[in-house]
Amino acid sequence: MKTTDLSERLKEVASFIPPGAKLADIGSDHAKLPCYALEKELIASAVAGEVAQGPLSAAERNIRARGHSGKIRARLGDGLAVLQGEDVDTVTIAGMGGPLIARILEEGKQQLKDVRKLILQPNVAADHIRRWLLENGWSLTDERILEEDGHVYEILAAEPGDPVTAYEGKNQEKAVWLGPFLLEERNPAFKKKWAKEKEQLKNILAQLERGEETPALAEKKGKLERQLSWLEEALS
């Protein structure tokens, strides 16, 4: 059987899955990632979670068509609620905004007590996830950043553990924003993303300079100036 076609972004997500994992993929998009992971013998079993009936039915059809009904089960539920009563040790959440992923983790954190690995791929604002991990006893263990079809994506892997380990010896606020591992590597995708962000920050600061000085404006300008100096360091 032909292996499920998968984007480079999701193949990179799959590369973080521990061998023999019992996976839950939240917001599974036709269960593509679980099917691929099973066909590549990366996982023992999977739950494909969907919050609406239409996507759930699409996932069920794809699972049946691939012949994986014995190993992959589609479940209807909001976020991590689909872990209830399931034997799961690894969770993937990909293709959503960072604030939404952080909210899913927060609302479902009671379901994470037996989970040993989180693999999270936000489309934007990964710092929201890093902050949640820091505040909830999860150690960021690795990160990747890649470009595909003109979009830049970040992938974060975390395990239960000391949440400050990844930030030791670093400016924590800066590293939460830019990614402690990504800052070390500074690959072309990282530079492309943050060079664009740097120009946007400069434009916003120029607009703020024309505004009436208030304590709130001064605070906002101070934060943006700090971020701009971090980007100049990171991109130099």
Q: pLDDT per residue over 93-108, tens digit each?
A: 999 999 999 999 999 9
Non-local CB neighbours of 159 within 8 Å, separated by 6+ positions: 116, 117, 118, 138, 139, 141
Both 34 and 78 in one domain: the answer is: yes
For residue 229, count CB atoms less than 10 angstroms from its CB and return exposed for 0-12, middle for 13-18, buried for 19 or more: exposed
Which of 187, 192, 191 is closest to 144 using CA atoms? 187
Considering only the C-alpha atoms of the chain, give the largest distance between any 2 of them, rounded to a whole number of Å.
Answer: 65
Instruction: Answer whether residue 193 is part of any domain.
Output: yes
Domains of the chain: total: 2
In this predicted model, what pLDDT tens digit does every residue of 132-178 receive, in sequence order?
999 999 999 999 999 999 999 999 999 999 999 999 999 999 999 99
The answer, yes or no, to whether residue 1 has pLDDT greater than 80, is no
The answer, yes or no, to whether residue 229 has pLDDT greater than 60, is yes
Instruction: Answer whether residue 227 is part of any domain.
Output: yes
Instruction: Answer whether residue 174 is part of any domain.
Output: no
Both 78 and 134 in one domain: the answer is: yes
Both 147 and 223 in one domain: the answer is: no
In this predicted model, what pLDDT tens digit does every residue of 41-94 receive, in sequence order?
999 999 999 999 999 999 999 999 999 999 999 999 999 999 999 999 999 999
Question: Distance between CA 182 and CA 177 in Å, rounded?
Answer: 10
Instruction: Answer whether residue 183 is part of any domain.
Output: no
Both 29 and 137 in one domain: the answer is: yes
Between vectors from CA 8 to CA 178 and to CA 25, what angle results, nearest 5°?
Answer: 80
Instruction: Answer whether residue 184 is part of any domain.
Output: no
Average pLDDT over residues 211-226: 90
Both 80 and 143 in one domain: the answer is: yes
* 3-state DSSP assignment of residue 86: coil
Both 203 and 140 in one domain: the answer is: no
Instruction: Answer whether residue 173 is part of any domain.
Output: no
Instruction: Answer whether residue 48 is part of any domain.
Output: yes
Both 225 and 148 in one domain: the answer is: no
For residue 227, what are the domain limits?
189-235
The answer, yes or no, to whether residue 23 has pLDDT greater than 90, is yes
Instruction: Answer whether residue 204 is part of any domain.
Output: yes
Count Cα atoms within 13 angstroms, Cβ side, for 79. 15
Both 25 and 123 in one domain: the answer is: yes
111 φ, ψ to 5°? -85, -5
Q: What is the CATH number of the domain that holds 84?
A: 3.40.50.150
The answer, yes or no, to whether residue 2 has pLDDT greater than 80, is no
Distance of CA 12 to the CA centre of its chain: 12
Q: What is the reported pTM? A: 0.95
Both 57 and 150 in one domain: the answer is: yes
Q: What percent of the chain has pLDDT over 90?
A: 93
74 φ, ψ to 5°? -85, 135
Both 103 and 195 in one domain: the answer is: no
